[in-house]
Amino acid sequence: MTGHPGEPYTGKAGTRPANGPDGMPLVLEHHVLTSLLGAWALAACAPAEAEAVEEHLGDCGDCADEALRLREAVGLLQRPESLDLDPGLRTRVLDSCLERRPPRVPVPEWAVAYDAETARLDALLQDFGDAEWRAPVRLRWYEADEASSRRTTVAGVIAHLLTVDGLVAVALGLDDPLGDAAPARPTPSDRTETCWRTARLPPDRSVRAPWREQTHALVRTVSFTGDGTGRTTVPYGDFELPLHDAMLDRAFECWVHAEDIAEAVDYPYDPPSGRHLHRMVDLAARMLPAVLEHRRLHGLASPVERRLVAAGEPGRSLRLEIEGSGGGEWLIPLDSPAAKGSAEHEVAHVALDGAEFCRLAAGHVPPREAAAGQEGDRAAIRDVLFAAASLSRM
């Protein structure tokens, strides 16, 4: 602020000009310069004021010491910036390169999420020392509507991913990482327990190389075969998935366990890109009707109120609304896995964040605490939330 025209500048607070009169440097009294030290430390002074303060600091030792202490305090108040690269940077760089020169052998769209998530996890692992590889990790999932867990290490998690990804490798004709030790029943938990039990030594950093080589081999193989693998199925013991869905399932588990690892070493880790997260949500939503039917047969879900709906016919439905990144809406048929979701027969509505829904499907969020918004048939809502949690496994 300035005084009235013609009035001399006195240097008092509230009356000094933002710039010196006639463009000349400000001449301020000592107590005024002292009062500006805090603003100067925050880089909030006007240019002329900052220049006056800095000139004064060269002549006044007491103010120079105070200015140094204030600058150091400001540094402590500022949040440290992450040294991690933007997780979307790799995708943007690749997209830019591919716009100029398309790949001779492109990765199929249904395998891109797996390629991205394995690359992100590998980037997280690259600077780990022995202490990080031995850090304890607790794997979590839901079984018979009860929270279950298994204790291992960061290296043990990578061994788990290696052996379960091996199901896809075997389906594609590649070597099984378990070799002759592979159990007859190809469930993820059986394979993992076999790996941990038969290893001569506890897993350590050496597991990273075979895991990463296998991820590259899977992406390379599906890229060369492309849609020629469209009818390939991957057995999971109690069920099987088409190859396209199995690759997405493996991308999902890679991200979930990467979060487990990041939590164990106290390191930030972001969810997948919205495009990939949407595909993961879609896979879980498509699996829910069959899971509901399985749970109903075992007395874990509400019985059908009237009758089973014929295949392709509309029936009672729950609207699953996913908000934020990866969002969308899905109508989940409640009375038959072959029924058609119908807005006209909607009896309930559940809204969740995309990453939160995926963590529910991974068994990392209790079903009763998952939904941000619920409306309608309470039994139907409970059935769907618990069905989503029962998608989880070790």
Q: In the structure encoding, which two tokens stand for residue 200, read together?
A: 């001569």
Q: What's the rounded Cα separation, in Å, for the pair 195 and 183?
A: 10
Q: What pLDDT is recorded for position 7? A: 39
Share of the chain above pLDDT 90, in %: 60
Angle at 256 between CA 351 and CA 175, to 5 degrees: 135
Nearest Cα neighbor of 252 from 268, 234, 272, 229 is 272
Q: At residue 215, does pLDDT exceed 90?
A: yes
Q: At residue 372, does pLDDT exceed 80?
A: no
**What sign results for the dihedral spanned by CA atoms 305, 308, 313, 318?**
positive
> Would you place residue 101 in the very low, low, confident or very high pLDDT band (cuts 50, 70, 90)?
low
Inter-axis angle of helices 188-198 and 154-171, to 10 degrees? Answer: 120
Amino acid, single-letter form, for residue 139: L
Q: At residue 102, does pLDDT exceed 70?
A: no
What is the bridge-based pairing of β-strands 340-353 and 373-376?
Answer: antiparallel
Nearest Cα neighbor of 210 from 254, 166, 272 is 166
> Domains in the chain, start-ordered, CATH in brackets?
21-77 (no CATH), 106-264 (1.20.120.450), 275-389 (3.30.1050)
**What sign results for the dihedral spanned by CA atoms 289, 290, 295, 298?**
positive
Compare 22 and 257 and report the one with higher pLDDT: 257
Condensed to tens digits (0 to 9), the pLDDT of residues 1-58 reads 333 333 333 333 333 344 454 556 667 888 888 888 888 888 878 888 888 888 888 7
Q: What pLDDT is recorded for position 241? A: 95
Name the DSSP letter for residue 177. T
Q: What pLDDT is recorded for position 2? A: 36
Condensed to tens digits (0 to 9), the pLDDT of residues 163-205 reads 999 999 999 999 999 999 999 888 999 999 999 999 888 899 9
> Would you place residue 209 in the very low, low, confident or very high pLDDT band (cuts 50, 70, 90)?
very high
Q: At residue 354, does pLDDT exceed 80?
A: yes
Amino acid, single-letter form, for residue 30: H
Nearest Cα neighbor of 280 from 330, 235, 316 is 330
Q: What pLDDT is recorded for position 186? A: 87
Rounded to the nearest integer, the mean pLDDT of the chain is: 86
Compare 143 and 122 and report the one with higher pLDDT: 122
115 burial class (0-12, 13-18, 19+ CB within 10 angstroms)? buried
Q: What's the rounded Cα separation, in Å, for the pair 340 and 279?
A: 20
96: how many CB neighbours lie within 10 A of its CB?
A: 9
Q: What pLDDT is recorded for position 253? A: 97
How many helices (H) and strands (E) the chain has is answered by 14, 8
Q: What's the rounded Cα separation, in Å, for the pair 105 and 83?
A: 33
Q: What pLDDT is recorded for position 11? A: 38
Residue owning tokens 């088409």: 242
Question: Strand, helix or coil at 297?
Answer: helix
The distance in angstroms from the start CA to the end CA of the chain is 67
Query: How are strands ordered across the β-sheet holding 314-323?
Result: 328-333, 314-323, 340-353, 373-376
- DSSP per residue over 330-364, as a string? EEEESS-TTSEEEEEEEEEEEEEEHHHHHHHHTT-
Alpha helix locations (H) across 4-82?
30-35, 37-41, 47-57, 61-77
Name the DSSP letter for residue 27. -
Q: What's the rounded Cα separation, in Å, for the pair 315 and 341?
A: 6
Q: What pLDDT is recorded for position 56? A: 84
Condensed to tens digits (0 to 9), the pLDDT of residues 68-79 reads 888 777 766 655
Question: Strand, helix or coil at 104?
Answer: coil
Q: Which residues, at least 6 apart from 130, have a Cβ–Cβ distance to it below 8 Å?
A: 204, 205
Q: In the structure encoding, which two tokens stand for residue 315, read together?
A: 């029936």
Q: What pLDDT is recorded for position 123? A: 95
Inter-axis angle of helices 208-225 and 154-171, to 10 degrees? Answer: 30
Q: What pLDDT is recorded for position 384? A: 96
Q: What pLDDT is recorded for position 359? A: 95
What are the respective helix, strand and coil percentages of the chain, to the nearest 5?
Answer: 50, 15, 35
Q: At residue 80, does pLDDT exceed 70?
A: no
Lowest-pLDDT range, 81-95, 121-135, 184-198, 255-269? 81-95
Nearest Cα neighbor of 192 from 161, 168, 148, 236 is 161
Question: Strand, helix or coil at 45?
Answer: coil
Condensed to tens digits (0 to 9), the pLDDT of residues 114-132 reads 999 999 999 999 999 999 9
